Chain A
């Protein structure tokens, strides 16, 4: 539990260290001065002897007491009068004469604990309780009591705990690099009156262990797990098979420029920037419908709010009969299922995140809205933005389109179908009726692209032809083309970035907020 506060790499850190040592020394001095005055108190036979203190390091001793612990979220009026054991983090403590108020936190739940001088509780015990450092883990035995007026700032506001035993299980360093309250303060634009202390993004990421303790972050990552679970459950129920693809690959799978090179014994290899080739090979090997969840690496030096160098990719590929819309609509339905699952099962998490980062609730339609590329162009034209018939949409234009679609169709999620062929990769199947368009689609959330997919060319000859047309060196992609040599069903697919989907679903402004330990061009720690 001890933080990596002590990393002494830079001068700054060294200075901090010196200061800390100085402070500690002062404290020790102070304590020594206090010592004699505290001693007489102890002389008067501590009535709470053996009811408080620091527990020895728990090493799974067989003789350890067996206790049933109660979860903070279960504390309610119904338990009034009962003795409970509870383990949690000391969120805040406040001593007030003969009383000490402690807020005990368990993830996003909190409860007030009162250590009050009484027959069984001595002054020394109250003093001990008030001196426990913030974020320490403590065990408390207490009686549940009703409170006359609800406790402000605690999730269990109907009751409080009157402590009879307090034990420190794991003490935290007294100096925290960031305060949990600061890190979880709501961001309300235009609210000048409230405290304006914020923890900046880098401090958060440097001390991610502490930062992740905020209820918002707890909710974010629970929701992220939910997206992953819903993705798996929905696809599994539709007959998809989960596969695992290699992350060390011999050659660049897509473009080639943005791959990480790793040394591989005597030669070198690359980190996979997409499982696409392997998904397609699984299709060629008759798996029909496959999906994969795994890390994806992009060596793009782009420091934006939505790019990471490593992220979790949720990819799927599916063989179809005659029309790639079978696949496109399956993916669309998959998203609807995910969104519905989040709306129905994760509403508490969504509202928790909303308390700190207010955002409009995510809206979607069932079945999902499908727009054709020309339709999108006319909508943009009406709004005064001309997009050429064979041009891609730039990021600001995509955002604008997102707003237009939201205003007209009340949805944050939509599918844009039939992209111009010129802006898609060489393996994209051209439209049979119009050589300038392709059988490809993008999906958008809140005006940002989250998925880009298409029907892939499954004929080796045609694929070679298209690759030549794009000026690609054929020997370099020989392995890719060879995969289709022995017959392959027509197929299409796509992939999404988990972090980006969660970010957009929650309306957050930075993908680093939804990546537990983000990797970007400027950060590979912690």
Chain B
């Protein structure tokens, strides 16, 4: 700041500390840097739920590298951190208590603050309207499931159009079209208008994201899950990688041609389901269930499933009916 020679002191020409408006036309990714700064008390106050993620991540990290040398040291360090965190939590809870007692209106505001970041991004991050193109030969049943699964979080209002490249629709597609357009989301839920165009295209479905074509039903589900915080969101789950690979399997399933190819994929799905009620071990229907159900239905291979998967498949189907 202080120049060695006497010179004019100039005011900075460019002011840096103003809010930069981030364009909304791209994916919004979770900041990966936030996670590192968890021991900063300020941050942990504003996002208490982040701590859980750290726990999980650390746990998994430890699981994955059990036979790494210096494990003991790490473990000790972790214990230390955990203690620190516990202390912090204590601090926070006392702080909260203090606030509750001292200042009534402030406490009233805190829950709204806690709610806001959950709901507001839900609407803001998603474009108001989406255009999805789908091939009638492999109809996106996922939309039907998503519409019903997320009905209390996002209201998907779907209007169907038939493109001139399609001369007539099959009965299965017609009934799907009916069911999609007749669905009424409960009032008060943020609405996303979807224009579904039935067109003869190569991939099973695609949509346009600010001039970039994103193809594949599975990728649409990923897009939806990343921009919103719903039951479909899996990115912060411990098994995010497994979920991603399962989604890829679903994507491939639609493109398979022989029974042998298919059976391999179905087996991996079956393995992921195991004895749980939903695939990928969660206690409610998630993104993989949606993708897998749609893929199986598109291929019309519900009779190739083992009893366990069949049970699961019927459970998915009942979700639509309800």
Contacts and interface: CB of A to CB of B under 8 A. Distances in A.
Interface of A: 339-340, 343-344, 361-367, 369, 382, 407-411
Interface in B68-89: none
30 contacts: A339-B164, A340-B164, A343-B164, A343-B167, A344-B167, A361-B164, A362-B164, A363-B163, A363-B164, A364-B163, A364-B164, A365-B161, A365-B162, A365-B164, A365-B197, A366-B162, A366-B164, A369-B161, A369-B195, A382-B25, A407-B208, A408-B131, A408-B208, A409-B195, A409-B197, A410-B133, A410-B197, A410-B199, A411-B163, A411-B164
Nearest to B25: A382
A153 B131 CA distance: 45
Contacts of B25: 382
Interface string B195-210: 1010100000000101
A466 B18 CA distance: 50
Contacts of B197: 365, 409-410
Interface of B: 25, 131, 133, 161-165, 167, 195, 197, 199, 208, 210-211
B71 to A, nearest CB: 53
Contacts of B208: 407-408
A176 to B, nearest CB: 40
Contacts of A365: 161-164, 197
Contacts of B164: 339-340, 343, 361-366, 411
Nearest 3 interchain pairs by C-beta: A365-B161, A366-B162, A364-B164
A401 to B, nearest CB: 15
Contacts of B162: 365-366
Nearest to A383: B211
A193 B172 CA distance: 50
Contacts of A382: 25, 210
Interface centre among B133, B164, B208, B211 (most CB of A within 10 A): B164
B11 to A, nearest CB: 34
A367 B195 CA distance: 11
Given A366-B162, A366-B164, A411-B163, 9 more contacts: A361-B164, A364-B163, A365-B164, A365-B197, A366-B161, A367-B161, A409-B161, A410-B197, A411-B161
Contacts of A410: 133, 163, 197, 199
Contacts of B131: 408-409
A367 B161 CA distance: 6
A80 to B, nearest CB: 36
Contacts of B165: 363
A364 B163 CA distance: 6
A303 to B, nearest CB: 33
Nearest to B159: A367
A397 B161 CA distance: 25
A442 to B, nearest CB: 19
A66 B199 CA distance: 54
A344 B164 CA distance: 10
Nearest to B207: A408
Nearest to A378: B128
A364 B162 CA distance: 8
A38 to B, nearest CB: 61
Contacts of A408: 131, 208
Interface centre among B133, B162, B210 (most CB of A within 10 A): B162
Contacts of A409: 131, 161, 195, 197
Given A365-B161, A366-B161, A369-B161, A407 B211 contact: yes
A37 B210 CA distance: 80
B162 to A, nearest CB: 4
A366 B174 CA distance: 13
B315 to A, nearest CB: 35
A83 B211 CA distance: 62
A369 B129 CA distance: 14
A74 B197 CA distance: 41
Contacts of A411: 161, 163-164
A361 B163 CA distance: 12
Contacts of B199: 410
Contacts of A369: 161, 195
A343 B161 CA distance: 17
A80 B210 CA distance: 60
A335 to B, nearest CB: 11
A339 B165 CA distance: 12
Contacts of A361: 164
Nearest to B165: A363
A339 B131 CA distance: 22
Nearest to A342: B164
A372 to B, nearest CB: 11
B155 to A, nearest CB: 19
Interface centre among A340, A344, A365, A407 (most CB of B within 10 A): A365
Contacts of A364: 163-164
Contacts of B163: 363-365, 410-411
A410 B133 CA distance: 9
A366 B198 CA distance: 10
A366 B163 CA distance: 6
B178 to A, nearest CB: 14
Contacts of B211: 407
A511 B167 CA distance: 29
A222 B74 CA distance: 83
Contacts of A343: 164, 167
A408 B164 CA distance: 15
A363 B161 CA distance: 12
A226 B60 CA distance: 69
A343 B162 CA distance: 14
A361 B166 CA distance: 13
A407 B199 CA distance: 13
Nearest to B160: A367
A518 B165 CA distance: 33
A339 B167 CA distance: 12
Contacts of A344: 167
B199 to A, nearest CB: 6
B184 to A, nearest CB: 19
Contacts of B161: 365-367, 369, 409, 411
B227 to A, nearest CB: 18
Nearest to A409: B131
A30 B235 CA distance: 92
B6 to A, nearest CB: 48
Nearest to A370: B159
A421 to B, nearest CB: 25
A403 to B, nearest CB: 12
Contacts of A407: 208, 211
A381 to B, nearest CB: 12
Nearest to B208: A408
A364 B198 CA distance: 11
Nearest to A343: B164
A276 to B, nearest CB: 31
A46 B167 CA distance: 61
A408 to B, nearest CB: 6
A367 B163 CA distance: 9
